[in-house]
Amino acid sequence: MLIQLAHDLPDYFYDVFVTRMDFWLVFGIVAQVVFGSRFILQWIASERAGRSVMPLSFWFLSILGGLMTLVYGFVRREPVIIIGQGLSTGIYLRNLALIFRERRRRRSGA
């Protein structure tokens, strides 16, 4: 079984990453890189602060990566991606609205 898997795995990866390579696959990979980079950004910001922080740019990368992944989901007709990224992007936008509301409140109260 393991020997068969070892033989089938290269064919599987060739099919997924070479045979199906097109603009939208590259777009989807770039979308995932953008989306995933927000965690690296958050980690760096937290290390610098010496505590867990969520920089504003985290939310902007979340929205950009989420929207890119959502477009990919629509083009590829992937309902799991469409539902997941559609709901998540709404949450990211709401977080930004709350952050900006709090900043306005602080400025008007200061």
pLDDT tens track for 66-96: 999 999 999 999 999 999 999 999 999 999 9
The yes-or-no verdict on residue 110 having pLDDT over 70 is no
User: What's the pTM value of the predicted model, to 2 decimals?
Assistant: 0.80
50 backbone φψ class: left, alpha, beta (φ>0; ψ -120 to 50): left
Question: Cβ of 66: how many Cβ atoms within 10 Å?
Answer: 24
Helix (H, G, I), strand (E, B) or coil at 78: coil
pLDDT at 1: 78
* Type of residue found at 67: L
Rounded to 10 degrees, the C-alpha dihedral 42/46/49/52 comes to 120
**For residue 41, what are the contacts with CB-CB under 8 A and spacing of at least 6?**
55, 57, 58, 61
